[in-house]
Amino acid sequence: GENVEQHPSTLSVQEGDSAVIKCTYSDSASNYFPWYKQELGKGPQLIIDIRSNVGEKKDQRIAVTLNKTAKHFSLHITETQPEDSAVYFCAASRSSSNTGKLIFGQGTTLQVKP
Amino acid sequence: DAEITQSPRHKITETGRQVTLACHQTWNHNNMFWYRQDLGHGLRLIHYSYGVQDTNKGEVSDGYSVSRSNTEDLPLTLESAASSQTSVYFCASSRVGETQYFGPGTRLLVL
């Protein structure tokens, strides 16, 4: 079945360093890839997303890259800050249909040490 | 402001009891989803709906049911709660083909 693999499961960086989280998806028809940030005790919040007609998207310190050939996409956080500490989830779906169903990765716990 | 809410935020129940978790959104989104979140499993889809009177099973639907009588609400019912259903439950909603927005979650403990 459809699957999204996310790595690493945990990531610890020093404040100011960059963090990279990688995801691989199995469904070649997937064309929408959101990233969510989940803080302790809260629901996942969308931080950035990318569609298959774009190879890269950036929003301030956050960027996402997509390689459709390899079925691989990544989240890049630059100049990390302690408030970036959270669990990050990648997801994939076929947005062109009305399924809207997201297949989530297992999550990455990011710790930014001051 | 438009939002999505869940109630209760915390619930303790006993094995065998029926439990209903509420989800309400004010965005007028057609699509609504229920997920459970457990350590080591991420977010798993329980049920989803594309509109009034429409419901569909997700990957972990056994023991759960939903009904959609209006656009704003998608209550999740555990027919006979089991300890394996102890989890954190999230509701989400979206427009057709668009981003899903999540509620704050309900933490359920089945004793």
Q: What is the pLDDT of residues B87-111, one digit of tens each?
A: 999 999 998 777 899 999 999 999 9
What pLDDT shows up at residue B85?
Answer: 97
Give the DSSP letter string of B50-73: SSTT--EE-TT-TTEEE--SSSSB
Nearest to A104 among B43, B94, B101 (CB): B43
Average pLDDT over residues A46-53: 90
- CA gap A12, A4 in Å, rounded: 22
Interface with B, mutate which of A10, A97, A101, A108 (most B CBs under 10 A): A101
**Range with the lowest mean pLDDT among A23-37, A45-59, A85-99, B91-105?**
A85-99
- CA gap B108, B46 in Å, rounded: 15
Between the CA of residue A53 and those of A30, A50, A65, what are the distances in Å? 11, 8, 11
Q: If you average pLDDT over every residue of chain A, what do you get?
A: 92
In B, what residues contact A, Cβ < 8 A?
31, 33, 40-45, 48, 50, 58, 90, 94, 96-105
Taking CA–CA distances from A106, the nearest residue in chain B reads B42
CB contact under 8 A, A95 and B102: no
Average pLDDT over residues A41-47: 93
Between strands B76-78 and A56-59, the pairing is unpaired
Q: What is the pLDDT of residues A62-114, one digit of tens each?
A: 999 999 999 999 999 999 999 999 999 999 988 655 556 888 999 999 999 99
Q: Is the omega angle on the peptide bond into residue B75 within 30 degrees of 0, that is, cis? A: no
Residues of B in contact with A36 (CB under 8 A): 102
What pLDDT shows up at residue B54?
Answer: 95
A59, A6 contact by CB (below 8 A): no
Q: Which residues of chain B have pLDDT under 50?
A: none
Nearest to B48 among A34, A101, A104 (CB): A101
Between strands A32-38 and A45-51, the pairing is antiparallel
What pLDDT shows up at residue A98?
Answer: 53
What pLDDT shows up at residue A93?
Answer: 87
Between the CA of residue A58 and those of A49, A54, A62, A92, what are the distances in Å? 10, 11, 6, 18
Give the DSSP letter string of chain A: ---EEEE-SEEEEETTS-EEEEEEES-TT--EEEEEEE-TTS--EEEEEEETT-SEEEETTEEEEEETTTTEEEEEE-S--GGG-EEEEEEEB-TTSS--PPEE---EEEEEE-
What pLDDT shows up at residue A95?
Answer: 64
Taking CA–CA distances from A35, the nearest residue in chain B reads B99
DSSP state of B111: -
Taking CA–CA distances from A30, the nearest residue in chain B reads B97
What pLDDT shows up at residue B98?
Answer: 75
Average pLDDT over residues A40-48: 93
Residue whose entry in the numeric block shows the structure tokens 């079945």: A1
| DSSP β-bridge partners for residue B93 | B32, B101
